[in-house]
């Protein structure tokens, strides 16, 4: 077994999308090879309805998959193919845009006005970019959850983990998407297949991930010039952790525990031509998609 080193940690950056939705972006619209096959990750946690209520009106997608995971509130969706539905707390939608779709996503808060969820964009390989669009809407009650003896809880959204298999299937990048809660003071190791690119997104509590400078993966406290310091002490308030190669990730939970998403997938290793919600392999394909948007032929007929 080999420990995955921590290549980078960074805070998600405030930004606005849609019709004025305030959210935080952990990565996206930068180097698409950095976390290949994943392109973008947004955290739309917000307690102010005016900052999210106008939502994400009609917009296109092609060549990617969008993965929406809702923790609080709801997200109503509809599209140009006549599909519609509502994602409730704990539910997931895995939308394969494929050859093209127009859709809208409209969030609503819970009884306290709170909205919280995440959206991840996954790239599609060239031979699947023009596949027929499809949805996998998964209710929260259908997502398997496993609790270890030390109190660690893992929700398995996709992939196989600890004897459970997530309900999302048929995804090209063979992803693993886990929602992990580790109790206060517990040190835990998670296995990730070596061929996957991997990242964690911490959104609750605090903890430390082991790496070469802190292989024990503990919240080390040392007396330096009479001052106590924490080494690799990561707040769970919207922190991205990008891992290097290896097959294990070790985390030490802080005094309040830690909750994070652990996401990995097989890199596609193909050229990326990207403009907004459309991701193709070449500039020519991208220009063709934009032309079809203008002339009304973007949506392909079902075969």
Which segments within 53-100 are labelled E, that is strand? 56-61, 64-72, 74-79, 84-87, 92-96
Segment 147-177, tens digit of pLDDT: 999 999 999 999 999 999 999 887 777 899 9
Segment 264-281, tens digit of pLDDT: 999 999 999 999 999 999
Contacts of 288 (CB under 8 A, 6+ apart): none
Q: Is there a contact between 239 and 12 (Cβ–Cβ < 8 Å)?
A: yes
Identify the sign of the CA torsion 41, 66, 251, 88: positive
What integer is the mean pLDDT of 180-192? Answer: 96
Q: Does 235 score more than 80 pLDDT?
A: no
CA 79 to chain centre: 22
Which residue did the predictor score with more confidence, 230 or 239? 239
Q: Is there a contact between 170 and 122 (Cβ–Cβ < 8 Å)?
A: no
Give 300's DSSP letter: P
Predicted pLDDT of residue 81: 82
Which residue did the predictor score with more confidence, 243 or 234? 243
Segment 98-143, tens digit of pLDDT: 999 999 999 999 999 999 999 999 999 999 999 999 888 999 999 9
Q: Is there a contact between 167 and 236 (Cβ–Cβ < 8 Å)?
A: no
- Domains by residue range for the chain, with CATH: 6-265 (2.60.120.10)
What integer is the mean pLDDT of 251-265? Answer: 95
Per-residue CA distances from 58 to 19, 79, 274 (Å): 10, 8, 19
Q: Does 289 score more than 70 pLDDT?
A: yes
Q: Does 218 score more than 50 pLDDT?
A: no
Q: Is there a contact between 301 and 158 (Cβ–Cβ < 8 Å)?
A: no
- Six token digits for residue 274: 């990207």
The single residue listed with the structure tokens 């030390």 is 150
For the chain, the C-alpha Rg in angstroms (whole number) is 20
The single residue listed with the structure tokens 């929260």 is 140
Mean pLDDT of the chain: 89
Q: What is the pairing mode between strands 197-209 and 74-79?
A: unpaired
What integer is the mean pLDDT of 285-297? Answer: 95
Please report which confidence band the pLDDT of residue 219 belongs to, taking 50, 70 and 90 as the band edges: very low
Q: Is there a contact between 172 and 265 (Cβ–Cβ < 8 Å)?
A: no
Burial 131-151 (b: 16+ CB within 10 A, else e): eebebbbbebeebeeeeeeee
- Six token digits for residue 146: 């496993």
């Amino acid at each position: 077994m080999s420990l995955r080193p921590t290549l980078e940690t960074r805070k998600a950056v405030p930004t606005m999308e849609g019709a004025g939705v305030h959210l935080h972006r952990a990565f996206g619209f930068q180097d698409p090879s950095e976390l290949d096959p994943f392109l973008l990750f947004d955290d739309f946690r917000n307690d102010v309805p005016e900052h999210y209520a106008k939502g994400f009106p009609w917009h296109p997608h092609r060549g990617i998959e969008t993965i929406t995971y809702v923790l609080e509130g709801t997200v109503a969706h509809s599209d140009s193919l006549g599909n519609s539905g509502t994602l409730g707390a704990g539910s997931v939608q895995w939308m394969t845009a494929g050859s093209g779709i127009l859709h809208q996503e409209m969030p609503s808060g819970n009884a306290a006005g709170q909205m919280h969820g995440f959206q991840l964009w996954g790239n599609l390989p060239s031979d699947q970019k023009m596949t027929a669009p499809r949805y996998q809407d998964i209710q929260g009650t259908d997502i398997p959850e496993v609790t270890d003896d030390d109190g660690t809880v893992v929700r398995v959204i996709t992939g196989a983990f600890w004897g459970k298999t997530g309900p999302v299937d048929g995804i090209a990048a063979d992803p693993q998407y886990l929602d992990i809660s580790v109790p206060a003071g517990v040190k835990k190791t998670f296995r990730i297949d070596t061929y996957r690119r991997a990242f964690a997104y911490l959104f609750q509590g605090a903890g430390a991930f082991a790496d070469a400078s802190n292989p024990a993966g503990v919240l080390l406290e040392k007396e330096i010039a009479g001052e106590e310091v924490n080494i690799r002490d990561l707040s769970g308030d919207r922190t991205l952790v990008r891992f290097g190669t290896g097959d294990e990730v070790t985390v030490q939970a802080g005094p309040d525990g830690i909750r994070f998403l652990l996401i990995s997938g097989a890199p596609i290793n193909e050229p990326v031509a990207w403009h907004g919600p459309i991701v193709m392999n070449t500039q020519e394909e991208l220009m063709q998609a934009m032309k079809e948007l203008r002339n009304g032929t973007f949506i392909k007929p079902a075969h």
